[in-house]
Amino acid sequence: MPLSKNKIKYIHSLEQKKTRKEERNFLAEGPKLVDDLLGHFPCHYLAATNEWLNEHSSIIADEIAVVTTEELSRASLLKTPQQVLAIFEQAKHNIELEKAQRSLSLALDDIQDPGNLGTIIRLADWFGIEQIFCSPGTVDVYNPKTIQATMGAIARVKVHYIPLPDLIASLRGIPVYGTFLDGEDLYQKPLSEAGLIVMGNEGNGISKEVENLVSHHLYIPNYPQKRQTSESLNVAIATAVVCAEFRRQMIIPKQL
Amino acid sequence: MPLSKNKIKYIHSLEQKKTRKEERNFLAEGPKLVDDLLGHFPCHYLAATNEWLNEHSSIIADEIAVVTTEELSRASLLKTPQQVLAIFEQAKHNIELEKAQRSLSLALDDIQDPGNLGTIIRLADWFGIEQIFCSPGTVDVYNPKTIQATMGAIARVKVHYIPLPDLIASLRGIPVYGTFLDGEDLYQKPLSEAGLIVMGNEGNGISKEVENLVSHHLYIPNYPQKRQTSESLNVAIATAVVCAEFRRQMIIPKQL
C-alpha cells in the first residue's frame, strides 16, 4: 500500500510536541535506530523499502507499508532519508527512586536543544547511567531530532520529567553535583559511586532554585588552567567529561 | 539604510559553500559570537538593531546597517534571530608545523556534521588546542552552523585543510593517537604532551589509510566495562573525553 497524503501529513505532524503528546507517539528513522527501537517500544506503523523488508521478515507492527525511496523522501524529516521510518508508542516509565539512590543519575535543568538532549542520552547509555531526570522546561525527549541523536540509546536509558527540587527532596542524602565556573577542580575531588549530576540550560546554566540544592560544586579545568576567557563548553560535552571522570574513578579508585 | 532584497539574498547565499569559497566570506549571528569575532576577522558588513549599536559605538566594518528586528528576521538563518548579524572575511592561516610538533593538535578525518565540527572547535579552545587539521572531505569550517556552534572559539583556534597522510608525514616522529573499539584503555596509558589526536567520520570512523598511520590505538572505557552493546559515542563527545584525559594527565602527571 503506497503512502497516502493523510499518512504523510500525520508523520509530519509528529514534529509538533502537541500532537505527540495527544497521540502518545513518536517518529524514528533509519535502519540502525529503527532496529534498536523495535522490541522496546510498540510499533504502530512502519514504512520501508522492499529491500529493507526482505532483510527483516519478522517485524511486528500494527501496519507495515512497502514504499519506494521517492515516497519515503516525501514522508521523511531527514535530509537523507534511509530505507525505513516508523511510528512508535511513547514509553511510560516509573521513576525508580531506590535505583537512583544507589547509582549515578543525571538531572537536566531546562536543556533546550533537542540534539543536546539526544547526545546526552547516548552518552548516558555508554557510561551506564540508567535514569535521566528532566525539569519540566527541558525539551521533549520525543522530539524527532532528539530521538535521532540518541542513535537508539532511548531504548535503554529511562527519561523522566519531574521538577528537580521535588526529585532532590525525595533523594535526600545522596550527593548532588553541578558544574560551575567557580567550582572545585573535578580531578581533585573524590567522586561518589551514587549521586545526581545536574547539568544546566545552554545559556543560563543551573537555575538559582536548583543551585541552592547542589551539595558539590565542580569545575572542569581548562588548559592552560584558569586562564581568563569568555569561553565555556557545550552542555553535552561538559556532561561527557564529568560522567567519564566519575566512571574513571570507579574503575581506578585508588589512584586519586 | 534598511536591508535591501539583494543584501538579504547575498546573506542567504552564504549558506552555500560554493559562494563562501568564491567570496571568501562567512556569516555570523548573535551578540556573543559577533563580539568575539570583531577584531579577529575583517568585518565587511554588519546589520544590527539600534539598541545593539548604541552599546557598540566603536565598531569597525566596511558597511553598517541599522535594522529593525523584523528586517533582521528576514535576513537571519537562525530560528531566533538575535540583535546582530555580520559578514566576515575568511582567515588565511599558515600551518605551524613546529608548534604542532611540540604541542597537542587534533586531526579530523571526514567529519560531516557542521554542528559536530563547531562543537569540536569550541572544546579545543577550552582544552588549549591551537590547531585543528581537517581532511579535505571534512565539512567546511565556514558553514554557518559550524560558526554558530563554535560560540566564538573560531577566533582563537586555527583550522587547516590538508590531506592527513601528508600532515602525518611532515610531523614524523610525534605520536599519532586514534580511538578504536578494540584499542587500549585510555586511562591505562601514559599520554604524551605533544601529539596528534585523530578523530574519524561519524558513520565510518577513521579511514583505512589514516588508521595505518596511527601509532597508538585508544579506547574510551564504557561502563560497566566492555559490555556487549551496539552503542558508540558521538564524535564530538569522544573528542572531549580524550582531550580531557590528555589534559588531566598534564595537570596531575604523577598519579597515573
Single out the residue of A246, A251, A242 nearest to residue A120, CA to CA: A242
C-alpha A186/C-alpha A246 separation (Å) is 9
Give the sign of the dihedral formed by CA B247, CA B115, CA B88, CA B52.
negative
B36, B240, B252 member nearest A237 (Cβ): B240
- CA-atom Rg of chain A in angstroms: 20
Q: pLDDT digits over A141-199, tens only? A: 999 999 999 999 999 999 999 999 999 999 988 999 999 988 999 999 899 999 999 99
> Are the Cβ atoms of A237 and B123 closer than 8 angstroms?
yes
CA A152, A15, A155: angle at the middle one, nearest 5?
15
Task: State the DSSP code for B43.
Answer: E
Question: Is residue A255's pLDDT more than 70?
Answer: no
Burial (CB count <10 Å: 0-12, 13-18, 19+), residue A6: exposed
Q: Tell me which chain A residue has its CA closest to the CA of residue B115.
A: A115
The gap from C-alpha A106 to its chain's centroid, in whole angstroms, comes to 10
Alpha helices in chain B (DSSP H): 5-13, 17-23, 31-37, 50-55, 69-75, 97-101, 114-126, 144-150, 164-170, 208-211, 235-251
Q: Tell me which chain A residue has its CA closest to the CA of residue B242.
A: A241
Burial (CB count <10 Å: 0-12, 13-18, 19+), residue A102: exposed
CATH, range B5-89: 3.30.1330.30
> Are the Cβ atoms of A230 and B115 closer than 8 angstroms?
no
Strand partners, A106: A132, A197
Q: Is the pTM of this model over 0.90?
A: yes
C-alpha B111/C-alpha A133 separation (Å) is 31
Residues of A in contact with B187 (CB under 8 A): 248, 251-252
CA distance A214 to chain B (A): 24
Cα–Cα distances (Å) from A36 to A25, A77, A134, B114, in that order, read 17, 19, 23, 26
CA A84, A88, A90: angle at the middle one, nearest 5?
150
Q: pLDDT digits over A32-66, tens only? A: 999 999 989 999 999 999 999 999 988 999 999 99
Residues of B in contact with A218 (CB under 8 A): none
The maximal CA–CA distance of chain B, rounded, in angstroms, is: 62
Question: 589514516: which residue's cell?
Answer: B210
ipTM of predicted assembly, 2 dp: 0.93
Please count the other Cβ atoms lying within 10 Å of the Cβ belonging to residue A237: 27
Single out the residue of B205, B238, B208, B218 nearest to residue B178, CA to CA: B218
Give the sign of the dihedral formed by CA A159, CA A161, CA A164, CA A167.
negative
C-alpha A29/C-alpha A76 separation (Å) is 8
Alpha carbon distance, N-terminus to C-terminus of chain B: 62
The pairing of beta strand B84-89 with beta strand B25-29: antiparallel
Please give the CATH topology (third level) of the domain spanning A97-255: Alpha/beta knot (3.40.1280)
At B85, phi and psi to the nearest 5? -135, 155
pLDDT score recorded for residue B256? 43
Q: Look at chain B and count its residues.
A: 256
Query: Can you give the pLDDT of all 256 residues of chain B as single tens digits?
Result: 678 899 999 999 999 999 999 999 999 999 999 999 998 999 999 999 999 999 998 899 999 999 999 999 999 999 888 999 999 999 988 999 999 999 999 999 999 999 999 999 999 999 999 999 999 999 999 999 999 999 999 999 999 999 999 999 999 889 999 999 889 999 998 999 999 999 999 999 999 999 999 999 999 999 887 665 657 899 999 999 999 999 999 887 544 4
At A177, phi and psi to the nearest 5? -100, 145
HSE, side-chain direction, 13 A CA sphere, residue A38: 19
Look at residue B254 and give its three-state secondary structure. helix
B152, B153, B233 member nearest A126 (Cβ): B233
> Are the Cβ atoms of A122 and B247 closer than 8 angstroms?
no
Q: Tell me which chain A residue has its CA closest to the CA of residue B119.
A: A234
Single out the residue of A144, A121, A139, A141 nearest to residue A131, CA to CA: A121
B122, B221, B252 member nearest A187 (Cβ): B252
Q: Which residues contact A208 (CB under 8 A, 6 or more apart)?
A: none
C-alpha B109/C-alpha B202 separation (Å) is 9
> Are the Cβ atoms of A125 and B234 closer than 8 angstroms?
no
Domains of chain B, residue spans: 5-89, 97-255
> Are the Cβ atoms of A151 and B231 closer than 8 angstroms?
yes
Q: pLDDT digits over A2-22, tens only? A: 788 999 999 999 999 999 999
B119, B251, B255 member nearest A237 (Cβ): B119
At A181, phi and psi to the nearest 5? -65, -20
A151, A232, A244 member nearest B244 (Cβ): A244
